[in-house]
Amino acid sequence: MAIRTSPNGGTSTAAPAARITGSRILCESLLREGVEVIFGFPGGVLLPLYDVLPEYPIRHILVRHEQGAAHAADGYARATGKVGVCLATSGPGATNLVTGIATAHLDSSPVVALTGQVSTPYIGKDSFQETDITGITLPITKHNYLVETLEELPEVIAEAFYIARTGRPGPVLVDLPKDVLMDEGTFTYPESIKIRGYKPTLHGNVRQIRQAAELINQAERPLIIAGHGVIISQAYSELRELAEKAEIPVITTLLGISSFPESHDLSFGMIGMHGMAYANMAVQAADLIIATGMRYDDRATGKVATFAPHARIIHIDIDPAEIGKNVRVDVPIVGDVRNVLTALNKHVENARHREWLEQLRTWRLQRPTTQIRETEQLLPQYVVRQLYEVTRGDAIIVADVGQNQMWAAQHFWYDKPNSYLTSGGLGTMGFSLPAAIGVKVGRPEENVWVVCGDGGFQMNMQELGTIAQEQLPVKIAILDNGYLGMIRQWQDVFYGQRFHHSHLLGPDFVKLAEAYGILGLRVKEKAEARPAIERAMAHQGPVLIDFVVEPSENVFPMVPQGSSLSEMLHEPID
């Protein structure tokens, strides 16, 4: 590897003469990238690495299944903004990461996945535990590498971390053959990175920013849709400045939740299939949409042809390929959301949109999605609301996928930046429990609550073992309805109530928790909900609460797939 001249004119001095193994060179490289924790699972080809890993100040968290490692690294990355690292052995270890890598890819999460590989002479021979993981992960990584010689290892690691965390973040996989880990060489870490095919655009075009400002200054019914990009670029205050300066209501995508304080006067909830009615109505009535750090997922837009029919559209995103991909655009701005909003705010004039806001408030009163109906039964919505009230919103909610995800989105007010994490793009059931491990490791001072269904929980419940072993005080709320709830809901609404294979038998979750030495609580009555949550908060270690909720509850409103956002199904009034 070439030693490059650093910008200040000096040459690399980081080259100790001693020859060390590839495993050590890998550890040294990870330290240079500031890696503090790895979520991993050992295997045959990784033994040379595991042999020396404890000698380095890098925490290793042993998961129970490699999928858990990938989700934990993803959760860590989302919660901290730093690159999350997972490690798995060759063959089945590597393929078990795949769902987690795809999850991180769809949600633009910076993850570096390290996989062991059989020694280079054995590659391509169908050797024991050999799989073509770079081939398999090609469409679900931002980039990937097969390291073929020890010489290239430090440079590959440096590039992998750089690519993962810059531009639109994403997962990068590095495949490490066993002989590369065992070979010896001297360690020199690259002073600089040279990737001529990779230059993310970070600053918006000035002319387009001016045009956008003009549209904003002229708009009568402007609407900001804030997406995950706001959180990734930490543009919270810039977004708030724009909204307040020109009095523009803000709605968010699912992953944009907690990019803007939900108790703010200008906050009007979430867009999409299970978005708030008033948020969807706002999109359909707006004369200007300012789409900020979002990619127009079909779950967010409904039928694209009828999306925002009266609006001009400004689309701000760091990924040029997202501009115009799904929804037409009038003013495209490619750049980092924070930079673009900073520049945009200088050109936006103070304005008031009283009538428009009044209209949105009226709609909110008419269709208050966040209202929970009064009933004797324990409703899942009520559980989420109690979580909000007990924590006073001071928690990071890691939601799973399905009904639980939507209720957690609807019935908790997220004022704290980056406090709602979920698998939005891939919709990975089983994400929440292992992801919460990563969140808690990355943000130990926060209250971390898993909100999941009994179906999703059972997909990765082996990670209770990890939580118990590491004594991670993660709190788990299972909304246990004995069904794959969202499947049941679709069968209820669209498939003539033929509930085929959506009813599932679960274990006794309380006993399961206890089997791991984790405090388990069961709640069947409304009155028990709040005390149980309070007890969980007071308990020092991890807690699992099995909330046995009303099984036939559906999520409303609901925009049927392929329908316009104007065509919502609402909660039936009993």
Partner 1 sequence: MKTKHVLVALMEDRKGVLNRVASLLRRRGFNIESLSVGHTDLPQISRMTIVVNGDDSVVEQVAKQLYKVIDILKVSDVTHEQAVERELALIKVAANAQTRSEIMQIVDIYRAKIVDVAADSLMVEATGTEDKIDSMINLLRGFGIKELARTGIVAMVRGAAGVTRLAGLEETTVEARDGRTRANLHRLAKQVAVE
Q: Report the amino acid identity of residue 555.
A: V
Considering the rule CB under 8 A, would residue 7 count as an interface residue with partner 1?
A: yes
Binders of partner 1 among residues 251 to 290 (CB under 8 A) are none
Give dist(CA 275, CA 557) in Å, integer. 7
Q: Compare residues 240 and 524 and give the one whose CB is closer to partner 1.
A: 240
Q: Please report how close the Cβ of residue 134 comes to partner 1 at its closest, in angstroms.
A: 7
Count CA within 13 A, CB hemisphere, residue 410: 29
Among 121, 324, 444, 507, indicate the residue that binds partner 1 (CB under 8 A).
324
Give dist(CA 536, CA 528) in Å, integer. 12
Q: How far is CA 173 from the centre of its chain?
A: 18
534: helix, coil or strand?
helix
9, 173, 194: which is closest to 85 by C-alpha?
173
Is 486 in the active site?
yes
Give dist(CA 19, CA 467) in Å, integer. 38
Q: Compare residues 157 and 448 and give the one whose CB is closer to partner 1.
A: 157
Q: Compare residues 192 and 371 and give the one whose CB is closer to partner 1.
A: 192
Q: Looking at 66, 159, 322, 553, which residue is catalytic?
A: 66
> Whole-angstrom distance between the N-terminal and C-terminal Cα of the chain?
72
Q: Please report how close the Cβ of residue 339 comes to partner 1 at its closest, in angstroms.
A: 7
Considering the rule CB under 8 A, would residue 158 count as an interface residue with partner 1?
A: yes
Beta-sheet pairing, 448-453 with 420-421:
unpaired
Give dist(CA 339, CA 335) in Å, integer. 7
Q: Please report how close the Cβ of residue 158 comes to partner 1 at its closest, in angstroms.
A: 5
Considering the rule CB under 8 A, would residue 135 count as an interface residue with partner 1?
A: yes
Cβ 247 vs Cβ 123: under 8 Å = no
Among 11, 13, 192, 471, indicate the residue that binds partner 1 (CB under 8 A).
192
Rg of the chain on CA atoms, in Å:
25
| Partner residues linked to 173 by β-bridges | 113, 144
Q: Report the amino acid identity of residue 128.
A: F
Q: What angle (nearest 5°) sits at the alpha carbon of residue 249, between those of residues 244 and 253?
A: 120
- Write down how long the chain is: 574
Beta-sheet pairing, 184-186 with 19-21:
antiparallel
Q: Compare residues 165 and 385 and give the one whose CB is closer to partner 1.
A: 165
Token pair 């206890």 is at which residue? 514
Considering the rule CB under 8 A, would residue 200 count as an interface residue with partner 1?
A: yes
Considering the rule CB under 8 A, would residue 138 count as an interface residue with partner 1?
A: yes
* 139-147, 263-271, 407-415, 540-548 -> range binding partner 1 (CB under 8 A): 139-147
Considering the rule CB under 8 A, would residue 195 count as an interface residue with partner 1?
A: yes
Q: Compare residues 131 and 369 and give the one whose CB is closer to partner 1.
A: 131
Considering the rule CB under 8 A, would residue 552 count as an interface residue with partner 1?
A: no
Other CB atoms closer than 10 Å to residue 537's CB: what's the count? 16
Stretch 12-51: interaction string toward partner 1, x if CB under 8 A? --------------------xxx-----------------
Q: Compare residues 319 and 550 and give the one whose CB is closer to partner 1.
A: 319
Considering the rule CB under 8 A, would residue 202 count as an interface residue with partner 1?
A: yes
Q: Looking at 129, 211, 359, 469, which residue is catalytic?
A: 129
Is 1 in the active site?
no
Considering the rule CB under 8 A, would residue 345 count as an interface residue with partner 1?
A: no
Other CB atoms closer than 10 Å to residue 333's CB: what's the count? 28
Cβ 381 vs Cβ 374: under 8 Å = no
116, 133, 37, 22: which is closest to 83 by C-alpha?
37
Stretch 508-527: interaction string toward partner 1, x if CB under 8 A? --------------------
Q: Report the amino acid identity of residue 175.
A: D
Is 244 in the active site?
no
Among 41, 187, 189, 431, indicate the residue that binds partner 1 (CB under 8 A).
189
Q: Compare residues 241 and 319 and give the one whose CB is closer to partner 1.
A: 319
Considering the rule CB under 8 A, would residue 443 count as an interface residue with partner 1?
A: no
Q: Please report how close the Cβ of residue 3 comes to partner 1 at its closest, in angstroms.
A: 13
For the annotated catalytic residues, the residue numbers are: 66, 128-129, 178, 486
Q: Would you tell me which residues interact with partner 1 (CB under 8 A)?
A: 4, 6-7, 32-34, 81-82, 134-135, 138-139, 142-143, 146, 158, 161-163, 165-167, 189-203, 233-234, 319-321, 324-325, 336, 338-339
